[in-house]
């Protein structure tokens, strides 16, 4: 019985909170786009992007996702995330006020 309880405990979801770097320029358009992309990843419980810090604070279920999946989703929306660059064609489609690359 104890072994079954121990096995059950290791299979339970673990909620993880972390920050990942995400580039953007504004709270009006970038913030909602970044947060929407992150929240669309199954397992993400919350995502809040901070313009000044250029960081996305995530709370997620680590049995369903990981930061790499979130970074890929955010990059697919046009924002570089950590070591994952947004595709140039997607970046080019961002409104002018959201373009952060020099």
Q: What is the pLDDT of residues 66-95, one digit of tens each?
A: 999 999 999 999 999 999 999 999 999 999
Q: Give Rg (Cα) of the chain.
A: 16
pLDDT at site 102: 87
Hunting for tokens 């313009």 — which residue is that?
A: 51
For the domain made up of 15-94, give the CATH fold: Alpha-Beta Plaits (3.30.70)
- Average pLDDT of the chain, as a whole number: 92
pLDDT in tens, 13-22: 799 999 999 9
pLDDT tens digits, one per residue of 13-69: 799 999 999 999 999 999 999 999 999 999 999 999 999 999 999 999 999 999 999
The count of other CB atoms within 10 Å of the CB of residue 58 is: 24
Helix axes 30-39, 67-76, angle to 10 degrees: 130
| Both tokens assigned to 71 | 């970074």
pLDDT at 84: 98
| pTM exceeds 0.75, yes or no | yes
What is the rounded distance in angstroms from the CA atom of residue 50 to the CA atom of residue 21? 10
């Amino acid at each position: 019985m104890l072994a079954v309880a121990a096995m059950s405990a290791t299979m339970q979801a673990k909620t993880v909170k972390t920050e990942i770097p995400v580039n953007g320029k504004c709270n009006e358009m970038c913030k909602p786009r970044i947060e929407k992309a992150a929240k669309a990843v199954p397992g993400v419980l919350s995502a809040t992007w901070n313009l000044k810090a250029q960081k996305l604070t995530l709370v997620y279920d680590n049995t369903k996702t990981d930061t790499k999946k979130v970074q890929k989703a955010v990059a697919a929306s046009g924002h570089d995330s950590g070591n994952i660059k947004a595709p140039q064609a997607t970046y080019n489609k961002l409104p002018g006020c959201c373009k952060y690359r020099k």
